Amino acid sequence: MDGKGNTGAGRDVKAAKAICMAVLCGLLVMMLCLIPANIFLLNFPGWVMGASGILLCGGLAAYFFRFRPGTAAKTILSVIFAGTSFVCAISPCLIPWWNSYTFKAYHGKILNYDEMISGRKAEDDLKTLKYYLEKLHPLFQKGLTTEVKEAYEQVLGRLEEAEQITVNDFRREIQTVLHPIGDAHTTTYNDYPGDKYLKTAPPKSREGYGIRSVNGKNVEQIIEEARRYCCYETEEWISIDLGSLASLEFYGFSSPFTYEWSRDDEIITESCTEADFVGWEQYLEIYEQYFGAEESKEFVVCEIDEERSLAVLTLTQCEYNQTYIDCVREMFTQVKQKGIQNVAVDLRGNGGGSSMVGNEFVKYLPMGSYADGSYDWRWGPFMIHCDNSSVTNRRYEDLTFEGNVYVLTDRNSFSAAKDFAMLIQDNDLGKILGEASANNVRGYGEVAAFYLPNTGLFVQISTKKWYRIDENNPADYVCPDYPCEGGEAVEKLYELLKADE
């Protein structure tokens, strides 16, 4: 009886031991899953990770006390559980996308531009912005620079004295803090749900008119006065929406509004009040009356001009997906079948996206490797440096193109579009036509996106500092080999092709 009893008790202990270890392993996996859950699904405070680590380590200590495993098992389990707990506990301080909305939708409240908030709530949002700047931006690894810190303290002082402030006024204050950074990626955006738009803008645009002035200030003067509220790396990047109520109010205009519209040498005047502005849905209906319904257009299209022996890949966004991959392959398939000698990539007006679009394109070009740029990547208190490296070109040898490559750019070719052009230029793979890129080749990027908690203001902050691929090239921008106005780049390309005949 005693022997059977001891055997039964031993089995019970083994079962309990196995169950406890399974629970602990389950908690370990759950804790690791909290990291992607925060990045892709929902936000929660960083202390949750620390508390989870303490709970996990406490459970392991209880396991050791109850079952007294051998020294080797204790060592292995301690390293695994303590190491995982430590990594997870510090992850909120390191991961650039922690509590961001870079990869998930925002379902919180966004205040309208004319709503009032207390000075205290505005202070809280400003301090939240400062926290993310110091945590994420490569420029602020050692804290805010003197210029940015002074701007921050001036804004904070004004908010401390303010009982209330409109959301738009608060956004203007924030922009004065972000402007000195000189980073076009790090900024806030007009994302107000109650914004309204000038209903006479579509018919005027349809007739060929453009805004010349508002309330006696011409567009050039408005842009000059707006500089300190804008984040840019080249002045050509500055643009102002003068048909939006929120934007007009942001830049200091109030109703009634007197617009001057110009077409060639003709100038007409129009007086408007807030009643002449409508919501977005109604504005789209008006727009469709004059321009027709917006057709769903692919972001990437290919056209073959056999007469000029030219294939043109037009890319309006740098989206790296199967649609892009298939379109590029189809283009080079036709290029080979039809003996096309020239390929052009039109990046005019392209606001960026994924730099992988350039890497995919060069797989069709005849080199074994190419240079890629170096960068510094901010992870909390640490800066990860990646040196300029040689990338093995995984060529599509069946469709290798050995003809001429051209890239068309304008002042709105930004971010990943600029990277595409730089990849071609700095590796001497082709020629650039048009205007210089919209942002600095030694600038910032790879943003993390946030909504400030009290106002819902959308803000994005750079996490990487980029460097030029060709380190010996002193130019701060991708300057065209054949400069011309962006709108004339196609004609310039045709001239080059004709000259080469």
Torsional sign, CA 314, 305, 393, 500: negative
**Using CB atoms within 10 A of its CB, is residue 142 exposed (0-12), middle (13-18) or buried (19+)?**
exposed
C-alpha of 265 from chain center = 40
Q: For 432-459, what is the mean pLDDT?
A: 95
Interval 194-236: pLDDT, tens? 999 999 999 999 999 999 999 999 999 999 999 999 999 988 8
> Would the pLDDT of 307 be above 60?
yes
Q: Which of 118, 130, 228 is nearest to 172 (CA)?
A: 228
Please check the confidence at residue 382 and state whether its pLDDT lies above 70.
yes
The predicted model gives 123-151 an average pLDDT of 97
Mean pLDDT of the chain: 93
pTM of the model: 0.90
Q: Average pLDDT in the 71-78 region?
A: 92
Q: What is the enclosing helix (H) or strand (E) of 431?
A: strand 431-434
DSSP class per residue in 103-168: SS---S----TT-EEEHHHHHHHHHHHHHHHHHH-GGGTTS--HHHHHHHHHHHHHHHH-SEEEHH
Residue 373 phi, psi dihedral angles, 5° rounding: -75, 160
Which two three-digit tokens encode residue 36? 């992607």
- What type of residue sits at position 359? N
Each residue's pLDDT tens digit, 256-297: 999 999 999 899 999 999 999 999 999 999 999 998 865 557
Q: Which of 476, 488, 347, 466 minimizes the C-alpha distance to 413?
A: 347
Q: How far apart are CA 209 and CA 269, in angstroms?
A: 11
What band does 27 get if pLDDT is binned at 50, 70 and 90? very high
The token pair that represents 486 in the structure block: 């962006």
Confidence of residue 238 (pLDDT cuts 50, 70, 90): confident
pLDDT value for 165: 97
Q: Where are the domains of the chain?
A: 2-94, 108-296, 300-439+477-499
The DSSP letter of residue 353 is B
Indicate left, alpha or beta for 415 from its phi (over 0: left) and psi (-120 to 50: alpha). left
Residue 45 scores a pLDDT above 60: yes
Query: 300-439+477-499, superfamily in CATH?
Result: 2-enoyl-CoA Hydratase; Chain A, domain 1 (3.90.226.10)
- Does residue 453 contact residue 315 with C-beta atoms inside 8 Å? no
Q: What are phi and psi of 394, to 5 degrees?
A: -80, 80
pLDDT at 256: 96
Q: Quick check: 328 pLDDT over 80?
A: yes
In this structure, of 19-23, 139-143, 295-299, 389-393, the range with the lowest mean pLDDT score is 295-299
Confidence of residue 298 (pLDDT cuts 50, 70, 90): confident
| 3-state percent helix, strand, coil for the chain, nearest multiple of 5 | 45, 20, 35
Q: Is 17 exposed, middle or buried (0-12, 13-18, 19+ CB in 10 A)?
A: middle
Q: What's the pLDDT score for residue 10?
A: 66
